[in-house]
């Protein structure tokens, strides 16, 4: 006869799977309990610890990948990526990548000084004003040709009234 594990979850824990609970703190820290034992814990701001807890729960087969993803508020593919990062780089692979620019700025001190000089001289405002004063190129009129007028030079003269043939041809030549 198989005995089912007792659901020994700490107070305020959300059940992830039978016997597995997650308690999250107000500051972002958390605790994972497996059959009443505190198994994983992390402090607020310890993203690597949080990711490690999710991956280890899946590796221990205490929860499925989908259950871990739902409990930790991520997509199941994210839990898989965390597992791959842990396998490739250890716990250091779970540390979130730095956000923002990765390399040095392309703005050299000399270029920054030149920009300040031009701004002080008012060159920026003068260039912006010149750009606003430019007029867009003239556009063609989209009027339809008058009824009976030759739409283009290749139109057969028989389709144009006899009185307007001369005018139509002079427009095409000129």
Residue 141 lies in a domain: no
Domain membership of residue 121 (yes or no) is no
Question: Which ranges constitute the DSSP H helices of 33-139?
Answer: 47-59, 65-72, 76-89, 109-121, 123-133
Q: Is residue 87 part of a domain?
A: yes
Q: Which of 138, 164, 133 is nearest to 151 (CA)?
A: 164
- Determine, yes or no, domain membership for 37: yes
Structural domain boundaries, residue 21: 14-94
- Indicate whether 24 belongs to any domain: yes
Q: What is the pLDDT of residue 81?
A: 94
Return d(Cα 69, Cα 54) in angstroms, integer. Answer: 8
- Quote the DSSP letter at residue 33: E
Q: Is 129 part of any domain?
A: no
Instruction: Give 107: exposed, middle or buried? Use CB within 10 Å, 0-12, 13-18, 19+.
Output: exposed
**What are the pLDDT tens digits along the chain (174 aa)?**
777 766 678 888 889 998 899 999 888 899 999 988 889 999 998 999 999 999 999 999 999 999 999 999 999 999 999 999 999 999 988 998 877 777 777 788 888 888 888 888 876 565 555 555 555 555 555 666 566 555 555 555 555 454 465 565 555 555
Residue 158 forms part of a structural domain: no
pTM: 0.55
pLDDT at 162: 47
List CB contacts of 27: < 8 A, sequence separation 6 or more.
Answer: 43, 44
In a domain, 3, yes or no: no
Contact between 149 and 168 (Cβ < 8 Å): yes
- Identify the pLDDT of residue 151: 53
Q: What are the angstrom distances between the C-alpha of 12 and each of 7, 23, 37, 53, 135?
A: 13, 6, 15, 18, 68
Distance CA 174, CA 171 (A): 5
Instruction: State the distance between the two ends of the chain, measured CA to CA, in whole angstroms.
Output: 105
pLDDT computed for residue 163 by the predictor:
47
Give the count of domains, the chain. Answer: 1
């Amino acid at each position: 006869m198989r005995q089912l594990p007792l659901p020994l979850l700490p107070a305020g824990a959300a059940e992830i799977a039978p016997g597995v609970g997650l308690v999250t703190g107000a500051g972002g820290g958390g605790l994972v309990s497996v059959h009443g034992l505190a198994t994983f814990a992390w402090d607020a701001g310890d993203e690597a610890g949080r990711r490690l807890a999710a991956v280890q729960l899946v590796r221990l087969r205490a929860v499925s990948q989908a259950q871990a993803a739902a409990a930790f508020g991520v997509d199941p593919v994210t839990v898989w990526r965390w597992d791959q990062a842990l396998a490739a780089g250890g716990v250091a692979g779970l540390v979130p990548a730095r956000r923002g620019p990765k390399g040095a700025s392309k703005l050299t001190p000399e270029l920054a000084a030149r920009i300040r000089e031009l701004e002080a001289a008012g060159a920026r405002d003068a260039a912006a004003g010149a750009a606003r004063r430019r007029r867009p190129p003239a556009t063609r009129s989209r009027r339809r040709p008058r009824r009976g007028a030759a739409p283009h030079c290749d139109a057969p003269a028989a389709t144009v009234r006899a009185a307007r043939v001369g005018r139509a041809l002079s427009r095409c030549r000129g």
